[in-house]
Amino acid sequence: MTLEQVVHRIATDSAFSAAFRADPEGTLRLEGATLAREEKEALAAALQNQNEPKAGWPWFESQLDRSKPQAGWPWFEGQLGVRPT
């Protein structure tokens, strides 16, 4: 099982995701996946603290001056198909 396959399983299979969060090494061993140490560490770091607020949002919000039109909105509208609120 490759890194891409493991990420796909984590994203689409809730039982695999829960097992991986509880015991990454054991779950990968049961599935026959052999990932490099760096790949395992990256997966563990990506899955850790998902429910905590992101530290970067206050900075982004502080950059928005809501009293005047934003020059960047057309770019966002083009990428997202909607205007951010």
Q: 21: domain range? A: 3-47
Is 41 among the domain residues? yes
Torsion of CA 29, 32, 37, 43, to 10 degrees: -90
Q: Residue 12's pLDDT is what?
A: 92
Q: Residue 65's pLDDT is what?
A: 60
Is 10 among the domain residues? yes
For 34-73, give one letter per residue: b (16+ CB within 10 A) or e. ebeeebbeebeeeeeeeeeeeeeeeeeeeeeeeeeeeeee
Give per-residue pLDDT as tens, 31-74.
888 889 899 888 888 877 655 555 556 666 666 666 655 555 66
Q: Residue 53's pLDDT is what?
A: 54
Q: How many domains, the chain? A: 1
Is 75 among the domain residues? no
Is 11 among the domain residues? yes
pTM, 2 dp: 0.53
Is 31 among the domain residues? yes
Interacting residues of 66 by C-beta distance below 8 A, sequence separation 6+: none
Is 20 among the domain residues? yes
Q: Residue 46's pLDDT is what?
A: 81
Is 62 among the domain residues? no
Is 78 among the domain residues? no
